[in-house]
Structure 1
Amino acid sequence: MPIRRPAALLAVLTLALTGCGARVAPGTGNAADRPSAHYPVTIDNCGVRTTYDKAPRRVVTNDVGIADIMFALGLEDHMAGYIMPAYRGDLAAVPWKSAYGKVPWLSKKAITKEMALDARADLVFAGWHYGFGEESGVTPASLKKLGIGSYVLTESCRNGTGDGSRGVMPPLEALYTDLETLGKIFDVEDRAAALIKKYKKQVADAQAKAPEEGERPSVFLYDGGEDKPLTSGRYAGPHDIITKAGGRHVMKDLKDSWTTVGWETVVERNPDVIVINDYGTPSAARKKAFLESYPPLAHVSAIKHHRIYVMDYADLVESPRNPAAVTALAEYLRDVHTG
């Protein structure tokens, strides 16, 4: 384990004494640190209730969709930095491109407690398997011991089954929930409400052009894996992206977010379209080549008719990019339907 620098150790002591929601005595501290009339606010996040006496000011995020949420809400001034691999998607296509240049990119590796300490974080915004996990030692409980608060991405909420499955609500509802909740935490509720209204309209417009229920192409989301494919269940972003775009999600019965299945299940459900989740390695081209050459899939409709559609990871995880992803996939599926 890396040796903590003095600044990190100081952060432990300071945060342990104050915490991100600590009250400030009248007439002390900086004006920016004093509670406003908006506070205190109490929110529910993945079944955990937390009260904030002020807005966190040094948030560290883990993964691209989570940084997107903060940037979409205009909260870059409340961030100490973001952590994510190199695949951030097409930044030229997002309205918060400048925020990515303004906020420090802390690491391309998974978040560690040392990273949070070195950034003097007062809140870590991550998700289960999006930075939080017992195997890494980075959990809301372990951060709390260091005086650092946590906010869990709603898409990743554990559902209480005891098997590690994730997901407690439809994916787009999870996005809207996080926008609304963070709006309360950071006193930007009007901004959050405007975004939710905009995104719901964008999705509704795409839905209005979808084929009738019985005519919709069936779709399988392929994340990767050759022995067993990693795919999306009903609680990960692709489920809503596929269904709202006018497709039938062949794995909608999986009560989980991201999970593995057997190839025999894919063959049995015979999807009309396969969507590739493009990120890191192997490349989308390598994934496509594998799918097209894998003998068990030879007679699957999507392979026979060359209906493989590539989407970026940043569009498929919970993110403000999801509504635009619905629109883009809807156009492709309409072509499949009419073709």
Structure 2
Amino acid sequence: MSKKVFGALLCVTILAVGLVGCSTAASNTSVKESTETKSAEYESLTFDNYGREVVVTEKPKKVLTFGPNSTELFVALGLSDYVIGNSLNNHSRGALPEYKEAYDKIPELTHGSVTKEAVTTSGADFIYGIDWEFGGDRLDVKELEDYGITTYMNKASTLEETYQEILDIGKIFQIESSAEAYVADQKARITAVQEKVSGQKPLNVLVYDSGGDGVFTAGGTNFETLLVEHAGGKNIFDDITEKQWTTVSYEEVLARKPDIIIIHDYDSPSLEQKIKDIKNDPALSQLDCVKNENFIPITLESVLPGDRMAYTVETLAKGLYPELFE
């Protein structure tokens, strides 16, 4: 090979290497700029989460959901791919059919209540969870912040508060339109039920979660009481306002004469066992609604604030006034 040819080839090689280097540098710069632009596009958001300020500075990437109601809401909003773990499936009878496939793909962090270790080692950067998992001897939200985890509690006690939670999630994950459409659909379906049962005299309802020394039931400030009212019923213990859940005596249940009993269905004791216990109880067995088996089974996650508001109001209304929905 002549010196001229060798020199020409060497120059071409050097030029090619230089161009590759420039191309790589340009590519890295482009990725960096793209990342910075994407980060800049996300405006810092501040929310009043039931008296606690929650600040979200970037869209969460790895989410934990505490409670089947919280998990299913993320599925309903099309956000299941963000969820890296859920909990409290022991309080679930499974997702609604339209959400089951996506729900079942979500890993289970813990079957029952979460543990601090499971949460802090999960790699999560955001939690949307039912409020009873926090405070006391459970998780401390301020401590979770030290692990880089932002917490938004599911704590609604009214429909409007639930709607606000959904709209807030929409803002956090930049799906405002989807969240607004979901809320509008829930409102329309609940309104349709209310119009249908508006001419009926409200039936007296006993909420039966479990038995024992008395009946563990929902008080007047319980979210379930609100759902019962929208379905055309009246919680016979709606005058108990100091607690959302409370235990009442069997004698007090007899005195208030419920027309129908809503029975919670979750893992233990089973629904069948609860019905058997009610029928065999010396006091409850005297009720006409027990003799006539006027029972409405409902899964526990369906009476918690989340995605099932309209579904539950529709289900309860059909149980209370079946003749209107034939």
Q: TM-score, normalised by structure 2?
A: 0.82
1:204 counterpart letter in structure 2: T
For residue 114 of structure 2, what is the amino acid of its counterpart? I
* 1:72 matched to 2:76: yes
In structure 1, the partner of 2:99 is 96
Larger CA deviation: 29-38 vs 234-243: 29-38
Cα shift readout 1:283-327 (whole Å, capped 9, x = no counterpart): 111111111111122333322332122111121122212211211
Contact kept in structure 2, 1:62 and 1:126, CA below 8 Å: yes
In 2 relative to 1, CA 263–34 (structure 1 residues): closer, same or farther, beyond 3 Å?
A: farther
Q: Select which of 54, 58, 62 maps to 2:58.
A: 54
Gaps of 5+ in 2: 1-30
Deviates more, 1:35-44 or 1:107-116: 35-44
Distance 1:279 1:41, change over 3 A: same
Structure richer in helix, relative to its length = 2
Structure 2 residue 61 is the aligned partner of structure 1 residue 31: no
Q: Which amino acid aligns with 1:134?
A: G
- Could you tell me how far 1:80 is from its partner in structure 2? 1.7
Q: 1:237 aligns with which of 220, 223, 233?
A: 223
Tell me by how many angstroms 1:32 deviates: 8.7
Change in CA separation of 1:186 and 1:36 when aligned onto 2, cut-off 3 Å: farther
Contact preservation (8 Å) 2:206, 2:258: yes
**Whole-Å separation in 2 of the counterparts to 1:246 and 1:226:** 29
Deviation for aligned residue 1:29: 9.2
Question: Cα distance 1:298–1:62, how it changes in 2: closer, same or farther (>3 A)?
Answer: same
Gaps of 5+ in 1: 1-26, 156-168
Correspondence for 2:120:
117
Q: Out of 107, 126, 129, which is 2:129 matched to?
A: 126
Count matched residues: 295
Partner residue, 2:85:
81
In structure 2, the residue matched to 1:164 is none
- RMSD value, Cα: 2.5
Change (3 A) 1:319 1:94: farther
Percent identity for Structure 1 against Structure 2: 27
What displacement does 1:90 show? 4.2
Q: Does 1:180 align with 2:167?
A: yes
Corresponding residue for 2:205? 219
On the 8 A contact 1:57/1:77 being kept in 2, the answer is: no
Q: Work out the CA distance in 1 between the residues paired with 2:143 and 2:289.
A: 45
The amino acid of 1:82's aligned partner reads N
Q: Aligned partners of 1:123 and 1:58: how far apart in 2?
A: 6
- The 1:232/1:185 distance shift into structure 2, 3 A limit, reads same
C-alpha separation in 1, matches of 2:275 and 2:259: 15
Give the drift of 1:121: 1.0
